[in-house]
């Protein structure tokens, strides 16, 4: 754990999170005390990457949008240095082969026995529902043999909805589910059908924890308008 990360988390981020947002947490013991694991979470708010690691003793390495590492000028430099200091890993989110190749940094972190945080939806939910997962999480799980801990963030979209710069002071929650073991399907790491099935199992585990309505469409496509947002299920 880097000195910057440990200091910021221990003396600033974690105390502020506990004091201001009074998070309730279930299943924290499901996160391994040592060794590699993939923390696969729903994604409701930009603050998810702050709130969740604040509750863990171990450092979480997140796959971060690569644009944060390539910005120009003083602001770009500061942003890049911050993400490097906190050991964030650049991720190409354009899709296809480029995205799969950029998973290599995450795979290396797992092989080093670290915790890797990933949002299988690929971006924040545009409507509070859980959207179709991208297969990168399955590829990482099968290639590394690491267990997948499904996580549900609760109410973070109410604390900091899309478009809001600073979060509102309100209570949030998170649930850590039992680890999922896919080591028996390691040989399917190059089989698209196996990767899709594993991804769908992970998303279903997240859905059961979060209670969200599931949408069988990618969040990025719904957000951009490339596909119409499916109507909400009736109660």
What is the arithmetic mean of pLDDT over 205-220? Answer: 96
Token pair 């590492």 in the structure block, residue: 69
> pLDDT digits over 74-93, tens only?
877 876 776 666 667 777 66
Distance in angstroms (rounded) separating the CA atoms of residues 30 and 32? 6
Instruction: Using CB atoms within 10 Å of the CB of residue 125, give its burial: 0 to 12 exposed, 13 to 18 middle, 19+ buried.
Output: buried
Q: Token digits for 190?
A: 């190059």
What's the confidence (pLDDT) of residue 73?
Answer: 85
Mean pLDDT, the chain, rounded, equals: 89
Region of poorest pLDDT, from 9-23, 87-101, 103-117, 170-184:
87-101
Distance in angstroms (rounded) separating the CA atoms of residues 36 and 129? 29
What's the confidence (pLDDT) of residue 192?
Answer: 96
What is the arithmetic mean of pLDDT over 57-71? Answer: 80
Domain ranges of the chain: 3-158+171-224
pTM of the predicted protein model: 0.90
DSSP lists the bridge partners of residue 116 as 38, 61
Distance in angstroms (rounded) separating the CA atoms of residues 86 and 38? 18
Span 3-158+171-224 CATH architecture: 3-Layer(aba) Sandwich (3.40)
Region of poorest pLDDT, from 34-43, 81-90, 100-109, 224-233:
81-90
What's the confidence (pLDDT) of residue 10?
Answer: 85
Instruction: Using CB atoms within 10 Å of the CB of residue 189, give its burial: 0 to 12 exposed, 13 to 18 middle, 19+ buried.
Output: middle
Other CB atoms within a 10 A radius of the CB of residue 226 amount to 10
């Amino acid at each position: 754990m880097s000195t910057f990360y440990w200091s910021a988390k221990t003396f600033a981020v974690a105390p502020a999170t506990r004091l201001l947002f009074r998070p309730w947490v279930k299943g924290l013991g499901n996160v391994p005390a040592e060794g590699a694991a993939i923390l696969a979470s729903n994604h409701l708010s930009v603050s998810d990457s702050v709130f969740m690691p604040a509750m863990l003793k171990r450092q979480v390495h997140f796959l971060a949008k690569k644009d944060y590492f390539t910005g120009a000028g003083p602001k770009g430099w500061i942003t890049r240095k911050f993400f490097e200091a906190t050991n964030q890993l650049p991720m190409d989110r354009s899709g296809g082969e480029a995205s799969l190749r950029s998973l290599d940094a995450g795979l290396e972190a797992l092989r080093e026995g670290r915790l890797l945080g990933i949002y299988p939806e690929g971006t924040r939910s545009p409507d509070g529902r859980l959207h179709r997962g991208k297969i990168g999480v399955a590829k990482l799980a099968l290639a590394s043999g690491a267990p997948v801990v499904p996580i549900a963030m609760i109410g973070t979209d109410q604390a900091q909805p899309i478009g809001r710069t600073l979060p509102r002071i309100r209570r949030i929650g998170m649930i850590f589910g039992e680890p999922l073991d896919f080591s028996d399907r390691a040989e399917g790491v190059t089989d698209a059908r196996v990767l899709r099935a594993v991804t769908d199992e992970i998303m279903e585990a997240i859905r059961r924890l979060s209670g969200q309505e599931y949408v069988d469409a990618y969040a990025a496509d719904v957000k951009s308008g490339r596909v119409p947002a499916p109507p909400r299920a009736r109660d």
